[in-house]
Structure 1
Amino acid sequence: MRARPVDRRLLVALAVTRAESVVAAIRYVARRGLAVVVTLLVSSFLVFSSLYVAPGDPVDFLVQGRSPSPETIAAVEAQYGLDQPFWRQYVDWLGGVLHGDLGRSFQYRDDVSAIVASRLGTTLLLMAMSAALITVAGLAAGIVGALTAGRRADRALLVTTTLLAATPSFVAAILLISVFGVRLGWFPTFGAGEGLPDRVYHLVLPAIALALTFIALVARVTRSAMLDELGREHVEVATSRGLPRRTVVRRHVLRNALGPITTVSGILVAGLLVSSAVVESAFGLSGLGSLLVQSVDKGDFPVVQAVVLIVVSAFVLVNLVVDLLQPVIDPRSIAGTAAR
């Protein structure tokens, strides 16, 4: 049986629409990818330039306050490539970074890549535990607050999140150590432990201390986004049609509110790496945060550059993932991008 002309035109229109959607998606991904490459390149230049902006001279640190001869200074500069022009140093450094060579530490006299790798596992596990707490507790608190808006539970949530958002990580760390570590003795308060189970056990208090402020912020954003969606006309229509409350909240409220929630949560999770410095120092953890603080204090420029570059790269890549998730959460974002 032959398709009628109307059906044929409809199929052609659907095929054209699908092709346009695929092209729009490819353009969206390509645009975001190009923006990430440019951002990382500019960031790498700024990070490397900090060597010349920061106070102090790397040569003075390398000679440890002695009065070396000009020959000694020339040998030190040649060993670390400090005798090369700025652009040549940057190109060599960037080429090394692309091949996994982050330079050589002034303080430890070892490859920066090896130093960073030895501390990266603790920081990643700490961030993963904190991110899980932020996602679960923040979303749950925000949903409860939105569904009980104006009631006692919502008011208690607003007061609690306000206090948590205003509490610095080091204050939370001190309180957790004094209560759950010293007084109750439930958790260790120093070191990262040995082996995965013991390490997770040691990182419980640091993860909570790191996550508390972010939990409050995610809860506030979730509550606000869901309250905005609860007032939409389509939610009222779905409710008037007799759909169960749980179905309305899951399909029409929470799903549409995930856009701003995901955006803010991604930015906050990316900022965990910066905030971990204080918590790692408080709990005696050998992670990237504490390494950054020690390297800044000692003037170990190669290590500082490497850690800052890792922080910037993590922030940019997490935001890229969030941008790529937006069309999945809300397909209208691709249509808006294609229209522009």
Structure 2
Amino acid sequence: MGWGRFALRRLAGTAVVVLLLSAGVFGLLYLAPGSVQQTLLGTRPATAETIAAIQARYHLGDPVTVQYLRWFGDVLRGDLGTSIRTGAPVSGMLADRVPLTLALTAYGTLLAALAGIPLGVLGALRRGRAADRLVVTAGVAGLSAPPFAVGLLLLVVFAGWLGWFPGYGTGEGLADQLWHLTLPAAALAVGAVGMLLRFSRAALVRELDQDYVVFARARGLAAPVVLGYALRNSLVPMLTAAGLVVTGMLAGTVLVEVVFALPGLGSLLVDSVTFKDVPVVQALALLLTLLIAAVNLLVDIGYALADPRVRLGGGAS
């Protein structure tokens, strides 16, 4: 499949997913307890005229399908709407918070890759030995640990008891920001390490059992050279794991940002759902869907670059 057809196919699939997801989120928010007028009025008394004005301002009297189609039409024109809770443009709110969430996701992915892939390689090379059993146990423990629970533990130990890292905030300047994001990124990375470890170990074990590895060893090729061939042929499963890790971290930032009081997309989502700020929640769902679709697209392209036998959007040719 050519690059043009592949891109069009992926764009069409992403559009369908965005449409279905946005409609589902809109419907769930419509059915959730509470209302926009309650959010705006709070505990203040309201007259019938005030409620009618709010309903007219936000078209709350229209059927839910009409409200959704109006929102979707505005999105297609580049208008994400205005926050019900703050009155600020939604696009500006997202632009202020996206860099932090992306930086936290990238930092967590880097930490996970630096730990998970070498441990997986170690387990594969020491298959059946004590080191391998230890690596497998560490992978299971990492996969079983929720990021928010790990974050609380890291916060208590390294920020509270030891005082090695700051407990909240984003810092100022690149070095200080990285220092502030280390504990949140580590909380996200723990589970990701387990996934990368298991995928990389399983992929490398399978490759080391292949005939070409046995033949290369029989010819007397150096062990690092043979390992390099096996690692290259293990890249596709590792890329799959990396894609799962990044998408999982984008979802995991929701609670981790709340634990560490970080002003990213996750904390914005929690606040917006709590106050039933429909435009912001819809925009966040749309943005996260597009980010996940972009990650999957990059993984598919990585397949084709890592292994020429893999066709774009298909299996091995």
Does residue 277 (structure 1) correspond to residue 267 (structure 2)? The answer is no
8 Å Cα contact 1:142/1:223 also seen in 2: yes
Q: Secondary structure at the match of 2:234?
A: helix
Cα distance in 2 for residues equivalent to 1:123 and 1:35? 25
- Assess if the C-alpha contact under 8 Å between 2:139 and 2:194 holds in 1: yes
Q: List per-residue Cα deviations over 1:278-312 (Å, max 9, x = no partner).
A: 21111111111111112222222222222222222
Q: Residue 336 and residue 80 in structure 1: after superposition, are their counterparts in 2 closer, same or farther (change >3 A)?
A: closer
1:319 positional shift: 1.1
Partner of residue 82 from structure 1, selected from 50, 60, 84 = 60
Deviating more after overlay: 298-307 vs 90-99: 90-99
Shift of 1:272: 0.9
- Displacement of 1:222 after TM fit? 0.7
Please give the per-residue CA displacement for 1:16-52, whole angstroms capped at 9, x wherever unaligned: xxxxxxx545433432332223222332333333332
Question: Compared with structure 1, are the counterparts of its residues 116 and 24 closer, same or farther at alpha carbon in structure 2 (3 Å cutoff)?
Answer: closer
Which residue, out of 227, 235, 242, partners 1:258?
Answer: 235
In the alignment, the residues of structure 1 paired with residue 309 and residue 294 of structure 2 have an alpha-carbon distance, to the nearest angstrom, of 23
- Which amino acid is the alignment partner of residue 105 of structure 2? M
Q: Distance in 1 between matches of 2:313 and 2:188?
A: 37
Distance 1:49 1:237, change over 3 A: same
Which residue does 1:184 correspond to in 2? Answer: 162
Which residue in 2 is equivalent to 1:204? 182
Aligned equivalent of 2:148 = 170
Q: Return the alpha-carbon distance in structure 1 between the equivalents of residues 263 and 155 of structure 2.
A: 18
The count of residues paired between Structure 1 and Structure 2 equals 317
1:320 to 2:268 alignment? no
Shift of 1:276: 0.9
Matches within 5 A, 1:1-340: 24-66=2-44, 68-251=46-229, 253-334=230-311, 337=314
Instruction: Sort the Cα spacing of 1:226 and 1:47 in 2 relative to 1 into closer, same or farther, 3 A.
Output: same
Among the aligned pairs, what percent are the same residue?
A: 41
State the shift of 1:154 in Å: 1.2
SS at match of 2:292: helix
Distance 1:234 1:121 in 2: 45
1:178-224 CA distances to partner (integer Å, 9 max, x unpaired)? 22222222111111112322111111111101111111111111101
Where do 4+ consecutive residues of structure 1 move more than 6 Å? Answer: none
**Is the 1:267–1:315 contact (alpha carbons within 8 Å) kept by the matching residues of 2?**
no
Structure 1 gaps of 5+ residues are 1-22
Determine the C-alpha separation between the residues in 2 that align with 1:230 and 1:131.
Answer: 26
Superimposed CA distance per residue, residues 126-184 of structure 1 (whole angstroms, 9 cap, x where no aligned partner): 11100111222211111111111112221211122222221221221122122222222
Read off the aligned partner of 1:188 and give its amino acid letter: P
CA distance in 2, matches of 1:40, 1:71: 37
Question: Which deviates more, 329-338 or 88-97?
Answer: 329-338
What CA distance in whole angstroms lies between the structure 1 residues aligned with 2:161 and 2:89? Answer: 42
Residue range with higher mean Cα deviation, 269-278 or 307-316: 307-316
Q: What is the TM-score normalised by the length of structure 1?
A: 0.85
Rg larger for: 1
